[in-house]
Amino acid sequence: MDMVLDGGFADPVLQSQTVFRAVMDALANPGTVQNLVTPQSIGGSIQAELASVLLTLSDHDTSIWLDDRLRSDTAVLDFVNFHAGAPIVREPGRAAFAFATGDTHLPRLDQFNLGTQEYPDRSTTIVLAVEALDGGAALITRGPGIKGHGHISPVGLPGDFVAQWADNRELFPRGIDLLLVADGAVMGLPRSTRITEGH
């Protein structure tokens, strides 16, 4: 329990603001890499980057979904309960934010809350830990916040990610937003971004 109580940000207000700015910048500038501040210590199997975003975006009014690996880890549950107090839901469709430790632990994107035409902002934001934010297969991005087109190459996306994302993009203004985290950084892919396979 000491680890749980000692965990979290060393300077919660300042560091949460820093991470929040990084997340907002990542979503406003899709495909760019923004540095995160990570907690001094964390409980259990949650990656530092996931913990950083969780501490910043969730609170006792924010329902969150954790993948099976996280949800079965008592240390992670204690960490979330103590530092965020966020209610944990088992159904992806009820989550405001979802946290996954890897693509094999992530349900299909359309299993999450896709929002409604009246309230598209009520959809789930997924935070997915990937192996790396570059070095994988080349993808081309287009859309708001991207001048011309951009290139991204994360390692650790679901095998049929481009197809799933195309379906998600078709729902606009509904649809999920995606944050990829790795190596102390975050990359944002909002629902407005078009993603195609590159060369």
Closest CA to 115 of 58, 197, 191: 191
Which residues, including other chains, have CB under 8 Å from residue 45's CB and lie 6 or more apart?
69, 70, 73, 75, 76, 101
**23 CA to centre of own chain:** 9
- DSSP alpha helices (H): ranges in 149-190? 161-170
- Edge-to-edge order in the sheet of strand 97-100: 33-35, 185-189, 177-182, 125-129, 97-100, 64-66, 88-89
Q: What domains, with CATH codes, occur in the chain?
A: 2-189 (3.40.50.11310)
pLDDT score of 181: 98
**pLDDT by position in tens, the chain (length 199):** 344 445 677 777 788 899 999 999 999 999 999 999 988 777 688 999 999 999 999 999 999 999 999 999 999 999 899 888 999 999 999 999 999 999 999 999 999 999 999 999 999 999 999 999 999 999 999 999 999 999 999 999 999 999 999 999 999 999 999 999 999 999 999 999 999 998 6
Cβ neighbourhood burial of 14 (10 Å; 0-12, 13-18, 19+): exposed
Indicate yes or no: pTM above 0.75. yes
pLDDT of residue 7: 63
CB distance 140 to 111 below 8 Å: no
Whole-number pLDDT of residue 40: 75
pLDDT digit string, tens, across residues 48-77: 999 999 999 999 999 999 999 999 999 999
Closest CA to 15 of 56, 48, 54: 56
